Chains A and B, each alone.
Chain A
């Protein structure tokens, strides 16, 4: 099974700050990595797919990148509405696996 190691588990950042979250895959998953944002009491929403492509309606301050089996989500200028929990997902090979999540809070 493919393990997704996500870090950090929690993150406190200031408004307008740059934020980076990473996921390390235990084996090659190509670009089959997606990122999701979950706000309190809400369903997860797709942010990034194919490791680097922005989902419809997602602000351009969000971006995704890949270096080998390490994937990153970057928020270029943190806004209040970005507070929540972020998850990565590999759906390359079943069983599909999520990262453990990163709780993003305002400093």
Chain B
């Protein structure tokens, strides 16, 4: 059974940093590209970042480019999102999702990030 479990969220002050993790199980993690998607309270889905299976290709949404860094450790079956210079508008539920042939076929349960003083 495919499972994606996010962690690392919490309350953080504006301008500070936070690192999210997503541990994958039930599939060969190193064979799949992975994404981070977020959802602000009461709002729709916003794609944040993508990393290919071997980390050769990385893409970001303009809203986070230069502040967020996506990475992965295939030996640990773990996806990361390093978030710096956090702003109130980064407050959201952050999901990791597996990408299979340009489809996000499995999603985690999400982890909440709240940016507030």
Measuring CB to CB, which residues of chain A are less than 8 angstroms from any residue of chain B?
32, 34, 36, 38, 43-46, 49-50, 55, 85, 87, 89, 91-92, 94-101
* Cα distance A14–B81 in the bound complex, in angstroms: 42
Question: Interface on chain B toward A: helix, strand, loop, or mixed SS?
Answer: strand
Residues of B within 8 A of A44 (CB): 45, 95, 104, 107
B59→A94 contact, CB < 8 A:
yes
Binding site for A on B (CB under 8 A): 35, 44-47, 50, 59-62, 95, 99, 101-110
CB distance from A21 to the nearest CB of B (A): 14
Once bound together, how far apart are the Cα atoms of A43 and B93, in whole Å?
10
Cβ contact of A91, chosen from B61, B102, B110, cutoff 8 A: B102
- Cβ contact within 8 Å between B45 and A98: yes
Which A residues lie within 8 Å of B61 (CB)? 95
Cβ-defined partner of B35 (8 Å) among A36, A38, A96, A101: A96
